[in-house]
């Protein structure tokens, strides 16, 4: 039995030394991927995590596989693809705000994940399934696999934690992205949008109104992530703000993934939702103090 099951695309991240990628002369190697970051965070906090993916039969794929094993994440459902390569991501160095990002991920090995790669979930009983909108945008294959996993979750009555993690560059157009992401959000149990993402998805800017929008569609808990302003929690019966922790920001990428890991781990540990969101804010703050996407996770 696993505490959490997730799947997605891991990538090797090459972080540059300038605020523009093309100006950088030196790059430091890290590992990226939203679902993998959450898996790392949960595993480091002592939880049993199954992470499913496909990697290229290449040096980057082997590097990621070894990293996953060393982190204590269950690697049993990771497959190697000899026909397609592991995804690659470049990131600039940025003192303030979000860094410049560029992907080499089209037709990557992970974009060929399909529902047969997730059949194993029928025989395990996770306490949560964690998903992000990134996998919905990667390919038709991953979208079908995503919907297959949602059906399994519904059949097993497993709570789905969904982070939209909007990546407009992966979608044909904004309208398609908003419709598909919202359809999944409405069927999730816990929805974790960033405030800017929620504005795109709903046209609303007030976190309470955003939360109520999704609660009225059947979502049980909505937590709007607001960066340095903390988080705003909305359920059917209550709503409240949780302040952030003020730290020196090195890199904002991965903060939301740290937040997700903290929140899920809190619920797995049996603490209250309010306490879990405090933990989520704390871990998100720890992550932004480091240059990689997951090296700040405790």
Give the 3-state secondary structure of residue 256.
helix
| CA angle (104, 105, 109) in 5-degree steps | 135
C-alpha distances out from residue 56 to 64, 110, 129, 157, Å: 10, 8, 25, 33
- What span, in angstroms and rounded, lies between the C-alpha atoms of 38 and 47? 11
- What span, in angstroms and rounded, lies between the C-alpha atoms of 32 and 145? 21
DSSP 171: S
Residue written as token pair 């991927």: 33
Return the C-alpha torsion angle 267, 270, 272, 277, nearest 10.
-30
DSSP 168: G
Q: Give the number of other CB atoms < 10 A from CB of residue 198.
A: 29
Give the 3-state secondary structure of residue 228.
helix
Structure tokens at 93: 């160095």
Give the 3-state secondary structure of residue 31.
strand
Structure tokens at 168: 């407009």
- What span, in angstroms and rounded, lies between the C-alpha atoms of 279 and 97? 23
- What span, in angstroms and rounded, lies between the C-alpha atoms of 255 and 294? 9
From the candidates 3, 81, 117, 257, give the one annotated as an active-site residue.
257
Q: Give the number of other CB atoms < 10 A from CB of residue 128.
A: 21
Q: Is 66 a catalytic residue?
A: no
Any idea which residues carry the catalytic annotation?
Answer: 257
């Amino acid at each position: 039995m696993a505490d959490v099951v997730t799947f997605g695309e891991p990538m090797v991240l090459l972080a540059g030394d300038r605020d523009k990628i093309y100006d950088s002369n030196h790059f430091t190697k890290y590992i990226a991927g939203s679902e993998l970051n959450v898996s790392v965070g949960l595993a480091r906090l002592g939880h049993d995590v199954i992470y499913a993916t496909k990697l290229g039969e290449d040096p980057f794929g082997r590097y990621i596989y070894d990293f996953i094993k060393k982190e204590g994440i269950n690697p049993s459902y990771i497959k190697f693809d000899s026909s397609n390569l592991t995804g690659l991501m470049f990131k600039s160095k940025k003192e303030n705000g979000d860094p410049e990002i560029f992907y080499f991920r089209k037709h990557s090995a992970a974009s060929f994940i399909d529902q047969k790669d997730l059949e194993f979930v029928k025989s395990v009983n996770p306490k949560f399934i964690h998903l992000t909108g990134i996998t919905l945008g990667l390919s038709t294959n991953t979208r079908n696999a995503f919907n297959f996993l949602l059906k399994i979750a519904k059949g097993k009555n497993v709570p789905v934690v969904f982070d939209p993690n909007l990546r407009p560059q992966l979608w044909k157009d904004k309208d398609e992205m908003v419709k598909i992401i919202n359809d999944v959000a409405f069927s999730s149990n816990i929805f974790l949008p960033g405030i800017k993402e929620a504005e795109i998805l709903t046209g609303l800017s007030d976190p309470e109104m955003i939360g109520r929008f999704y609660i009225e569609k059947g979502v049980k808990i909505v937590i709007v992530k607001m960066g340095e302003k903390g988080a705003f929690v909305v359920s059917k019966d209550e709503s409240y703000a949780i302040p952030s922790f003020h730290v020196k920001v090195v890199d904002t990428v991965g903060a939301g993934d740290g937040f997700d890991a903290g929140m899920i781990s809190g619920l797995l540990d049996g603490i209250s939702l309010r306490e879990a969101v405090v933990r989520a804010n704390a871990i998100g703050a720890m992550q932004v103090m480091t240059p990689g996407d997951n090296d700040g996770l405790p």
